[in-house]
């Protein structure tokens, strides 16, 4: 177990490159099950979730070699189609192997990925859709595994009742080798999905996004290997943009994806943040005056993503006035609030009025537990002070780092392994911008 010690109050300045997207890398690694040929994947971030996924794949017979940011994966043979609980439970995306395993081998046993502190996080939409393609999947609550069988998956017209990002990808990963055509309606629009599609098409799949929320997949009999470079991580860029403004700094972000950050940039500009396009792939983030309160409602792409609301909250502690955040995708994604309050932030929970919550929210309304709130109200500006903080999920972790970087004095942050799940070598990269941040072992 590691902790970070951060001396805040230093404006972050300089250049930083955004790493490859976690939420693409994990899915493209899963695609290795679909072919017997080698895949060479470039721009893979060296983060814990990637290494956890490589362990999941290893039990399934996929060998890997990591050289810097290039990962070579080859599906040697089917050792068995079961992911043991102790390997699979480390990351939610381990459940995504179910589609490819069913498509190729007709069987899959995967552990219930469970909740990742953002709420219940069930996979009912994935399971229902795979069943529509001919799979039979039963959940055994006594051992916590899903047992799947299929006598050759077939295409189907599937309409997700609600948006699901990884659900959309799971079905794409199954449908590429299914018999016939699969039509996915109400498919998620995240650009990371399109990067996965581009990679699969390069492997010989036939997938097209017919309209923003409709994806058509024509099954093929086999996929071949490929050499693919994954897109940069949009969530990292947002983190660095906020880091710049929070610390009164000036950061040039390389490998910028600002063309896919409209919803963020709109709010950022409204709140007083500034950005300047230096060239196609470089964006400068800074601010030159007061920050203003703003209200955000999270949504799936192309809306203001749920992954951005935690770092956004810390930015709003510095804005003049009352800001609100209405979280609509996950039922419990405010774990960082108690920690920010330790630093002096003025934040209170509230329940935004919603006419038909069952239809409105992206999560299953029934998964909500007494005491959850979907909104927070932040009153600012507040000068944050140092504190001893505890991280309990990835984006919340990045948020606490941002808060500590801008706060006066020395903060200690425990549980940094959560940040290592999604941000590569964050402390060294922040140090290159002038931050005073050290990693030490917990005693
Ligand atoms: N949901 C269900 N049943 C399902 C599927 C989803 O109830 O079968 C619920 C979820 O619990 C959630 C909502 O529906 O409340 C939306 O879930 P979705 O499937 O869209 O999200 P996800 O696939 O679990 C991915 C990313 C998240 C990101 C969201 C939204 C990956 C590995 N994860 O999660 O990323 O926040 O989409 O874009 O791609 C992160 O990177 O920190 C992260 C959490």
Beta bridge partner(s), residue 229: 42
Atom of ligand 1 nearest to the CA of 119: 11
Gap from CA of 164 to ligand 1 centroid (Å): 6
Does ligand 1 come within 6 angstroms of the Cβ of 124? yes
Ligand 1 pocket: which of 23, 114, 426 to mutate (most atoms <8 Å of CB)?
A: 23
Alpha-carbon distance of 280 to 138, in angstroms, equals 48
Say which residues have a Cβ less than 8 Å from residue 280's Cβ, sequence separation at least 6: none
Tell me how far apart the alpha carbons of residues 380 and 374 are, in angstroms, rounded to a whole number: 20
Q: Rounded to whole angstroms, how far apart are CA atoms 76 and 57?
A: 11
Which atom belonging to ligand 1 lies closest to the Cα atom of 49?
A: 32
Ligand 1 contact, 163 CB (< 6 A): yes
Q: How far apart are CA 327 and CA 306, in angstroms?
A: 7
Ligand 1 atom with the shortest distance to the CA of 331: 15
Q: How far is the CA of 407 from the centre of ligand 1 (A)?
A: 31
Which of ligand 1's atoms lies nearest the C-alpha of 120?
11
**Ligand 1 nearest-atom number relative to CA 126:** 8
What is the model's pLDDT at position 368?
85
Helix count (H) and strand count (E) of the chain? 15, 23
Determine if ligand 1 sits within 6 Å of the CB of residue 189. no
Q: CB neighbours of 141 closer than 8 A, spacing ≥ 6?
A: none
CB 422 within 8 A of CB 49: yes
Rounded (10°) CA dihedral 191, 192, 197, 198: 80
Q: How, if at all, do strands 181-185 and 157-159 pair?
A: parallel
| Terminal alpha carbon distance of the chain | 9
Strand partners, 15: 252
Q: Kindly give the parts of the chain with pLDDT less than 70.
A: 78-79, 114-120
Nearest CA residue ID for atom 40, ligand 1? 307
Residue 265 alpha carbon to ligand 1 centre in Å? 22
Of 5, 116, 198, 220, the active-site residue reads 116
> Is the distance from the beta carbon of residue 125 to the nearest atom of ligand 1 less than 6 Å?
yes
| Residue 23 Cβ contacting ligand 1 at under 6 Å | yes
Question: What would the pLDDT profile of 56-82 be if each residue is shown by its tens digit?
Answer: 999 999 999 999 999 999 999 766 799
DSSP 255: S
CA 355 to chain centre: 29
Residue 71 CA, ligand 1 centroid: distance in Å: 25
- For residue 168, give both structure tokens: 């959309």
pLDDT at 443: 78
How far, in Å, is the centroid of ligand 1 from the Cα of 386? 32
Name which residue sits closest to atom 28 of ligand 1, judged by CA.
Answer: 307
**Closest-CA residue to 184 (of 150, 218, 151):** 218
Residue 18 burial (CB < 10 Å; 0-12/13-18/19+)?
A: buried
Tokens of 426: 């964050």
φ/ψ of 55, rounded to 5, equals -70, -40
Residue nearest to atom 33 of ligand 1 (CA): 23
**Sign of the alpha-carbon torsion through 415, 421, 427, 433:** negative
Could you tell me if 60 and 100 are in contact, meaning their C-beta atoms sit under 8 angstroms apart? no
Whole-number Å distance between alpha carbons of 68 and 63: 16
Please tell me the distance between residue 304's alpha carbon and the centre of ligand 1 in angstroms: 14
pLDDT for position 117: 55
Expressed in angstroms and rounded, the spacing between residue 165 Cα and the centre of ligand 1 is 6
Q: Active site includes 116? A: yes
According to the model, what pLDDT value does residue 115 have? 47
Ligand 1 neighbour 122 (Cβ under 6 A): yes
Determine whether 142 is exposed, middle or buried from the number of CB atoms within 10 Å of its CB (0-12, 13-18, 19+). Answer: exposed
């Amino acid at each position: 177990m590691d902790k970070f010690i951060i001396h805040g109050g230093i404006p972050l300045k300089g250049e930083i490159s955004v790493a490859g997207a976690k939420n693409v890398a994990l899915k493209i690694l899963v695609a290795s099950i679909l072919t017997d040929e080698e895949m060479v994947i470039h721009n893979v971030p060296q983060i814990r979730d990637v290494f956890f996924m490589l362990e999941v794949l290893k039990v399934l017979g996929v060998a890997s070699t990591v050289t810097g940011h290039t990962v070579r994966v080859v599906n040697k043979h089917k050792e068995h189609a079961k992911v043991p609980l102790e390997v699979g439970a480390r990351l939610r995306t381990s459940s995504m192997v179910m589609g490819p395993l069913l498509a190729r081998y007709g069987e899959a046993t995967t552990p219930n990925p469970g909740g990742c502190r953002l709420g219940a996080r069930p996979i009912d939409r994935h399971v229902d859709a795979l069943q529509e393609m001919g799979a039979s999947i039963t959940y055994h609550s006594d051992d916590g595994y899903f047992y799947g069988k299929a006598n050759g998956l077939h295409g189907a017209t599937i309409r997700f009742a609600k948006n699901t990002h990884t659900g959309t990808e799971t079905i794409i990963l199954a449908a590429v080798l299914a018999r016939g055509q699969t039509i996915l309606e109400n498919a998620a629009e995240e650009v990371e999905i399109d990067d996965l599609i581009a990679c699969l098409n390069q492997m010989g799949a036939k997938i097209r996004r017919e309209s923003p929320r409709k994806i058509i997949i024509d099954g093929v009999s086999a996929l071949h290997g490929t050499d693919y470079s994954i897109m940069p991580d949009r969530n990292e860029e947002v983190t660095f943009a906020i880091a710049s403004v929070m610390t009164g700094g000036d950061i040039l972000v390389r490998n910028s994806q600002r063309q896919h950050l409209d919803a963020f940039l709109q709010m950022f500009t409204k709140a007083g943040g500034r950005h300047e396009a230096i060239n196609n792939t470089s964006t400068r983030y800074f601010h030159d005056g007061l920050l203003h309160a703003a209200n955000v409602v999270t949504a799936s792409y192309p809306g203001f993503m749920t992954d951005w609301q935690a770092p956004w909250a810390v930015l709003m502690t510095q804005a003049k006035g009352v800001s609100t955040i209405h979280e609509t995708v996950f039922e419990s994604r405010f774990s960082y609030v108690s920690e920010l309050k330790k630093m002096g932030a003025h934040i209170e929970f509230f329940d935004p009025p919603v006419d038909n919550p069952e239809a409105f929210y992206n999560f299953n309304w029934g998964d909500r537990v007494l005491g959850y709130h979907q909104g927070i109200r932040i009153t600012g500006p507040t000068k944050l002070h140092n504190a001893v903080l505890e991280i309990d999920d990835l984006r919340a972790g990045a948020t606490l780092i941002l808060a500590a970087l801008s706060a006066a004095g020395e903060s200690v942050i425990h549980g940094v392994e959560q940040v290592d799940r999604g941000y590569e070598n964050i402390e060294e990269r922040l140090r290159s911008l002038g931050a005073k941040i050290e990693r030490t072992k917990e005693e």
